[in-house]
Structure 1
Amino acid sequence: MTALPELTTERLTLRAPTPDDLPAYRAFYAASDATVGAYRGQRSADEVAAIHAADMAHWKAKGFGVWLLRRIGDETVLGGAGLVRDDDWPSHELTWWLMPAVRGKGFASEASRAIIAYAYDTLGWDQVRTFMRDHNTPAHRLAQRLGGTRIDRQVFPDGVTRDIYAFPRETAL
């Protein structure tokens, strides 16, 4: 099997999840107030295991996915960021999640810039997008800091209306 790509930024190493990373997923969902899809709240152990397994399977099925973020030289998972494509959604998406204790420190911006560059330069995409709910103000601000422009608003298959942002190639520079 071909090794999955790793990315390195000034402070971070990004690598695809492995079976050993299930505890990091459990820690995130136990501590986070994240809303994913139409679901908000705590996840069961089986639901977290399914999310972890789906993230690993996404790499195999599509050739891209979510990387786990770690400080260079440290094995502690800070969060995840990457490119996903749900089969029933309108397109691929840049996504990210961070452990609550490390939010607001620029890790999502730093990882996202590297991932946007990867999407344009390695995958050859002509556009990188993200989708977000109205109430996710921090994500809207991050998209804008990254140079994202709101290009559409759609109701998604899960019934949630989201803004769609597109990121320019220059974001990655």
Structure 2
Amino acid sequence: MMRIEIPQLETERLILRGPQLSDFEAVAAFFASDRSKFVGGPMSAEQAWRTLALEAGHWALRGYGRWIVAERDTNAPVGNIGLWFPHGWPEPEIGWDLFEGFEGKGYATEAATAARSYAYDVLGWDTAISLVDPNNTASRKLAQRMGARHDGDFTHERFGTVQIWRHLSPDELVNGGMEAYA
């Protein structure tokens, strides 16, 4: 059996961990819902299974990926957030999918900020983007909360035209950026 080492990150309220078989029900529910319309859904349970497997496979192929985010207190999966760079993407991304019932708690911002810190501090990235559907107001607002700026558009073969949101660089974060005052 192939083993993939996925680092676990912890924030004040969350644990970012590798995907597990026990996460399938939450992932399938997300992808069956209208919440997934900006990321390829809604889709069947069979397609959701493939999506969960490709999330794990991204870790094997790239050495990084998106974590399942779980509440620290309950271990309930709240989303799938992290680093993403599949073939066809313009450059490495910080991406987020937040599951039904967990919006409005700041979880996506908390987890995406931890993922960005990992990208910069551990992987040595000097920039990151987030691709956002122009109609996805919640994702656009999250990118803005993190200090990202609209940096043009990108046309993807499956998702159409999406906005590129450029995150603050490590230097901007250290030298007066939003995390300098945390």
Other-structure match for 1:52: 52
Other-structure match for 1:65: 65
Q: Is the 8 Å Cα contact of residues 31 and 99 (structure 1) preserved in structure 2?
A: no
Distance 1:5 1:47, change over 3 A: same
- TM-score between both structures, scaled by the size of structure 1: 0.91
Q: In structure 1, what residue type is equivalent to 2:62? A: K
Runs of 4+ in 1 over 3 A off after TM superposition: none
Q: In structure 2, what residue type is equivalent to 1:50? A: R
Q: 2:36 aligns with which of 20, 34, 37?
A: 34
**Structure 1 residue 159: deviation in Å?**
5.5
- How far, CA to CA, are the matches of 1:172 and 1:131 in structure 2? 22
Distance 1:114 1:138, change over 3 A: same
**Structure 1 residue 32: deviation in Å?**
4.2
Other-structure match for 2:86: 86
Other-structure match for 1:157: 157
Length, aligned pairs only: 171
- How far, CA to CA, are the matches of 1:6 and 1:152 in structure 2? 33
**Paired residue secondary structure (1:67):** strand
**Structure 1 residue 77: deviation in Å?**
0.5
Q: CA RMSD in A?
A: 1.7
Q: Is the 8 Å Cα contact of residues 32 and 43 (structure 2) preserved in structure 1?
A: yes
- How far, CA to CA, are the matches of 2:4 and 2:86 in structure 1? 23
Q: 1:19 aligns with which of 8, 21, 38?
A: 21
**Paired residue secondary structure (1:104):** coil
Q: Is the 8 Å Cα contact of residues 32 and 99 (structure 1) preserved in structure 2?
A: no
Q: What stretches of structure 1 of length at least 5 have no aligned partner?
A: none
Distance 1:30 1:158, change over 3 A: closer
- Name the % identity: 32
Q: Is the 8 Å Cα contact of residues 12 and 72 (structure 1) preserved in structure 2?
A: yes
Q: In structure 2, what residue type is equivalent to 1:134? A: P
Matches within 5 A, 1:83-162: 83-158=83-158, 160-162=160-162
Matches within 5 A, 1:158-173: 158=158, 160-168=160-168, 169=170, 170=173
Q: In structure 2, what residue type is equivalent to 1:87? A: H
**Structure 1 residue 73: deviation in Å?**
3.0
- TM-score between both structures, scaled by the size of structure 2: 0.87
- How far, CA to CA, are the matches of 2:55 and 2:154 in structure 1? 24
- How far, CA to CA, are the matches of 1:50 and 1:159 in structure 2? 18
Other-structure match for 1:6: 8
- How far, CA to CA, are the matches of 1:138 and 1:17 in structure 2? 24
